[in-house]
Structure 1
Amino acid sequence: MSLKALPLLFINLGGEMVYILHQRLHAQNIDGSKSQKVINDIISTMYNRRYMEEIFKPQELHSKKAMRTVFDRLAHASIMRLNAPSMDKLYDLMTMAVKYHVSLCSRPRDLLLVTLNHVDGLRAMVPNQTSVIATLDDLYENIIQTYAKMGEGELQVIRQTLLSFFQDMHVRVSIFLKERQQNQTGRFVLPSGGPVPEGTKIPGKIILYSEKGDVRQCKQFNPGPRYQEAGKQGSLEKIGDRVITLGTNMYATHKSSDATTSRAEGRALVVKKTTTNTVDLSCPDPNAKAQLDLLSTLIGSDKVKQSAFRVNLFNNDEEEESYESPVVGQLEQENIEYVNIDARHSEHRYLAKVMGDMNIGASKRRDDDLLDLMDQA
């Protein structure tokens, strides 16, 4: 597991959250000044320099519960409010989009291009917002300084860490279903063929070399899908051509009805409908708790926000009432383990003896009475 995967996970999930909220604000005809304020506040808080200093420190990924709570607070960093089902749906959309992007990276370094695409997309949403753009510029510098000089092996470990985080998250998203990028079980359909990764050759040829290094024999075979040579390499400059489209705003070219999810079917996981707007964080890891405390300070959660308005991620009341999040249902079962010990078995005679000694009712002696012992103290 990589200790440097958290920043990429956080930045990409945050980018998708802003994409979705931006689309819903426009779909519900929220006043332009209010919509812009929401976007500005969320981006400024989410990528605040102090908070990014904590996120970029080498550390393990937060638990899924902690990550869910972080974005719950970030979504309410402005005057906008989401009810529990809308927040569940928002997080489902975020996680599935980033999972899809990470899964389709043909080479580990594409993770950086996906991340920079998100930063570019956020920059386009805050034109003429000098302070917010300065925050995104600082974020860009952190990304380049941390990841640009990494080797492919280290980036591949980061990619595997991210995929492990998204494992067993299967939520059907209508955009992916319509494009046949996802099947009815919520699993992605990864394409075959297309451009090969930078620095690799098109499959279909076997070359045999002699001991001296000369070409001895060359065989051709049909690789099946059609492959093309890699195009130009994506730019890591602050403003440049990233080449790949993963990480760009897919909601900008779809109608509001496309930004929906449906219940995952055929899953062994028992899904429970949530009734609260937050996820309980019992015994969170210290790093996550410290960062949540810092985030609360940056947001100013104790201050009452005036002129708050509510945004709904559903098209109608029926859809909202019937929505059950597979991801949130999974969070409720996270880290729950049961160990059954049968002390009556012959292999556990010692435990049986201990349990027998702990039986107060078995004691006949008056001086063993608990109250008497307390009186003697």
Structure 2
Amino acid sequence: MIYCATPILYLNMGGEMLYVLQQRLQAQKISPEKTTQVINDVTGALLNPKQLEVVFDRGPLMRLAWLRTSLERVALCSIMKLDDNSSNKLFDLMIMMVKYQLATATGPREVILSTLNHLDAIRDMVMDKKLRGYVDNAHRYIVETYGGMTYKEIWSIRDDCLTEIQSHCVRVSMLLKLGMQNEDTSFNRLIQRYNEKYQERREVLENFKLLDYSEDENVMGSLSFCGNRVTLLGRNIYLPTFGLVPNIRLTRSLHHDHHHPIVEVSNKSMRQEIETLAKQLGKEDTPPMRPFSLKLFGHDDRAAMDCCTPDESAVHSSNKDEDGNLVSKATRDIEAYRTNLITSIDTDFADVEQSPRPQEMDIMNMLDAV
């Protein structure tokens, strides 16, 4: 039996919970004081050293019921309120995001790097010295616990975690709109300079220990404090800058079962497209929001919970550039793809406050059970 699987689910799901809470507090224009208090309270409860001692106890994987109870206590330790409906949907969302990260990981190292990405993001959320000490302590737990394990052991932990959450098959609107999930709930992977190819090299790598095997950290990701993790897995998907890195390409899995292979679809012009997209999005005056509303505070604060609705974007094409120079068909094709991509992301992120209250979108509308 492989031990120490519980921390992977606990920390990754806890990180996803903080991502959602931070995004909704900002989108609903909750005061900075309340926002800071909620994030600090939740972080303090999530990474409390006594709680981590229980989580990192060398035992079999805790059941989802235990994880849910623990994380609900973490969420409710703050001044915010969660009704039963929102709590249920938030839990499903956390599971699906972690399921995506585990299912599309290309090797054991990426599983650990994804967890460290969550800790890095939490460290950036909090300013309190004590809480940052909690994050650093969790980082040490991760490296000390998994650093001495073999790649085979870590991959078995990943498989155990996926087995525990495999019954959750839910469509998530954000993943669908970003092309990271299909209607049948299977996943597509976004790769940025990262692929361990563990399945192909398993016989060579499986007996190496995580800390004993080191490739170029600029390519395979660093395990050190504040190092470059390289992989996108575990990063905050709600940020408008998510995924805006060079050399991204989409890979598609035809089945949600993690044992099936992933078929890669490459695009040579993707780097230019993403760089252009980054410049376009960088001109926005206000950060875009995700189109959902999480009822964090209850009925007394409903006025602060306006929803986000898509904006309309016009698409204009021409055979000449802005300086009047003729452009080639290939360039026009790239421009058309870029425009469509920007339109899609604008639709996903735009925040228009003219939508009437009856059209408010609750978090339950982002999830569709299959």
TM-score, with length taken from structure 2? 0.62
Cα distance between partner residues in 1 of 2:129 and 2:97? 29
Q: Which residue of 1 aligns with 2:142?
A: 143
Cα distance between partner residues in 2 of 1:321 and 1:35? 19
Cα distance between partner residues in 1 of 2:172 and 2:109? 26
**SS at 2:148's partner residue?**
coil
Q: Which residue of 2 aligns with 1:243?
A: 230
2:16 maps to a residue whose letter is E
Q: Which residue of 1 aligns with 2:240?
A: 253
1:70 maps to a residue whose letter is S
Say whether the 8 Å CA contact 1:2–1:157 is kept in structure 2: yes
Unaligned runs of 5+ in 1: 203-228, 262-307, 331-377
Cα distance change on mapping 1:241 and 1:65 into 2, 3 Å: same
Cα distance change on mapping 1:199 and 1:182 into 2, 3 Å: closer
For the pair 1:42 / 2:42, whether they are aligned, the reply is yes
Q: Which residue of 2 aligns with 1:71?
A: 71
1:16-95 correspondence to structure 2 within 5 Å: 16-95=16-95
Say whether the 8 Å CA contact 2:14–2:46 is kept in structure 1: yes
For the pair 1:99 / 2:132, whether they are aligned, the reply is no
State the 1:260 CA deviation.
Answer: 7.3
For the pair 1:122 / 2:126, whether they are aligned, the reply is no
Cα distance between partner residues in 2 of 1:76 and 1:52? 18
Cα distance between partner residues in 1 of 2:234 and 2:172? 16
For the pair 1:14 / 2:47, whether they are aligned, the reply is no
1:1-377 correspondence to structure 2 within 5 Å: 2-127=2-127, 129-190=128-189, 196-197=195-196, 232-253=219-240, 255-259=288-292, 319-320=361-362
1:187 maps to a residue whose letter is S
Say whether the 8 Å CA contact 2:3–2:61 is kept in structure 1: yes
Cα distance between partner residues in 2 of 1:313 and 1:70? 30
Unaligned runs of 5+ in 2: 202-215, 242-287, 295-299, 309-356
Say whether the 8 Å CA contact 2:4–2:60 is kept in structure 1: yes
State the 1:73 CA deviation.
Answer: 1.6
State the 1:232 CA deviation.
Answer: 1.7
Cα distance between partner residues in 2 of 1:170 and 1:136? 31
**SS at 1:38's partner residue?**
helix
Cα distance between partner residues in 1 of 2:197 and 2:54? 33
Say whether the 8 Å CA contact 2:173–2:366 is kept in structure 1: no
Cα distance change on mapping 1:3 and 1:28 into 2, 3 Å: same
Structure with the bigger RCO (C-alpha within 8 Å, sep 6+) is 1
State the 1:187 CA deviation.
Answer: 2.6
Cα distance between partner residues in 1 of 2:179 and 2:187? 9
State the 1:179 CA deviation.
Answer: 1.9
| The 10-residue stretch of structure 1 (115-124 or 169-178) with the greater mean CA deviation from structure 2 | 169-178
Cα distance change on mapping 1:27 and 1:196 into 2, 3 Å: closer
State the 1:64 CA deviation.
Answer: 2.2
Question: Looking at CA atoms only, which structure, 1 or 2, has the larger radius of gyration?
Answer: 1
Cα distance between partner residues in 1 of 2:167 and 2:161? 12
Say whether the 8 Å CA contact 1:24–1:313 is kept in structure 2: no
Cα distance change on mapping 1:260 and 1:124 into 2, 3 Å: same
Say whether the 8 Å CA contact 2:113–2:229 is kept in structure 1: yes
Cα distance change on mapping 1:199 and 1:59 into 2, 3 Å: closer
State the 1:164 CA deviation.
Answer: 0.5
1:55 maps to a residue whose letter is V
1:145 maps to a residue whose letter is E
2:15 maps to a residue whose letter is G
1:239 maps to a residue whose letter is C
State the 1:252 CA deviation.
Answer: 1.2
State the 1:116 CA deviation.
Answer: 0.5
Cα distance between partner residues in 2 of 1:193 and 1:242? 11
Cα distance between partner residues in 2 of 1:232 and 1:53? 32
State the 1:183 CA deviation.
Answer: 1.5
1:159 maps to a residue whose letter is R
Cα distance between partner residues in 1 of 2:364 and 2:133? 42
State the 1:256 CA deviation.
Answer: 3.3
Cα distance between partner residues in 1 of 2:306 and 2:92? 11
Cα distance between partner residues in 2 of 1:186 and 1:320? 21
Cα distance between partner residues in 2 of 1:326 and 1:16? 19
Cα distance between partner residues in 2 of 1:190 and 1:40? 32
**SS at 1:256's partner residue?**
coil
**SS at 1:156's partner residue?**
helix
Cα distance between partner residues in 1 of 2:291 and 2:366? 18
Q: Which residue of 1 aligns with 2:330?
A: none
